[in-house]
Amino acid sequence: MNAAWALALALFLLPLLGLHLAGLPGNWLILGAAALFAWLRHPEAMNQAFFILLGALALAGELIELAAQYLGTKRYGGSSKGNLGALLGAFAGAVLGAPFLLGLGALAGALAGAFFGCYLLERLHGMPHPAASQAAKGAFFGRALGLTAKIGLGAAMIVLTLRAAWPA
């Protein structure tokens, strides 16, 4: 019977990883689902240290996503103002894109928003078109790389959770 519960958990956790593509907090929902499972089923392997690890991985995913965008923009010649524009643009793009393509529009919106937000603020602060375009490319690639890393950390969270939940 415990294997059936662990299998049900696996079938519940895997779609949560895909929520990142819709701009939703998949890693935090994975953490919540693991906590709910531990509360309902009492697996011994899911102790306080386990949840601290999962929380650290979820937080690391968020920080890596932001840092990758920041460093991508900087590497391609962007300024702090361009980074702010990329961050705000990614958020606005994800919100505005969410209703399209069954929620996948949030991903395209976040990437396009990072590009256009960075480009717009760089141009408003006097950066010429080629340099602003280059900085915006850095914001786009940084956001994409950060999201990829965040999804990878979410996959690691799922593996750790299933390993702890699976009967010995």
Q: What is the pLDDT of residues 122-153, one digit of tens each?
A: 999 888 999 999 999 999 999 999 999 999 99
Between CA 49 and CA 61, with CA 55 as vertex, the angle to 5 degrees is 140
SS3 content of the chain, % helix, strand, coil (to 5): 85, 0, 15
- The Cα–Cα gap between 113 and 119 comes to 10
| Angstrom distances, CA of residue 95 to CA of 7, 76, 153 | 33, 26, 23
Q: For 50-75, what is each residue's pLDDT tens digit? A: 999 999 999 999 999 989 989 999 89
Q: For 12-37, what is each residue's pLDDT tens digit? A: 998 998 888 777 888 999 999 999 99
- The Cα–Cα gap between 1 and 110 comes to 42
pLDDT at position 95 is 87
Q: For 75-100, what is each residue's pLDDT tens digit? A: 998 888 889 999 899 889 988 988 88
pLDDT at position 75 is 92
pLDDT at position 138 is 92
CA dihedral 70, 68, 163, 15 (to 10 degrees): 90
pLDDT at position 147 is 92
- In this structure, the number of other CB atoms found within 10 A of the CB of residue 58 comes to 22
pLDDT at position 116 is 94
pLDDT at position 2 is 75
Joined tokens for residue 64: 């890596």
Secondary structure (3-state) at 86: helix
pLDDT at position 1 is 52
State the average pLDDT for the chain.
89
Joined tokens for residue 45: 């392997």
pLDDT at position 149 is 95
